Amino acid sequence: MAVLTFNVAPDSVICAVYEEGGCREHGVFEVPETKDALLLRMQRMTRLYGALYALTGIGVSLGNEQDVVAEDLKMTLQLPVLVMACGDETELAQRTLAAF
């Protein structure tokens, strides 16, 4: 079991895969100019990592006030999504693993 996390900052997004043993994959990408482009990028990353890991859920940190629509994420990613307002990547991973 693994979870995928997106820590959305004003100019970049940290994307990581966590299992009980810790971080397995880690990457950073620039925030696209539109919310739709960001959502599309998150969907692509979910499909990519979903093919490699048995994802049980997704954690999204919106601690930076980035306007990402949680309902869109929940409907389009087809996995349980935990949306939180925390900027700490480790805390996001721990809470997501505990939730899913």
Residue 92: both structure tokens together: 């996001």
Q: How many CB atoms lie within 10 A of CB 51?
A: 8
Task: Quickly tell me which residue has 């809470």 as its tokens.
Answer: 95
pLDDT (average), residues 6-28: 92
Give the Cα separation of 28 and 30 in Å (integer): 7
Give the Cα separation of 84 and 36 in Å (integer): 20
- Average the pLDDT over each of 20-29, 42-51, 76-85 and give the range with the smallest value: 76-85
Asked if pLDDT for residue 71 goes beyond 90, the answer is no
- Taking alpha carbons only, the member of 30, 100, 38 closest to residue 69 is 38
Provide the whole-model pTM.
0.88
36-56: per-residue pLDDT in tens? 888 899 999 999 999 999 999
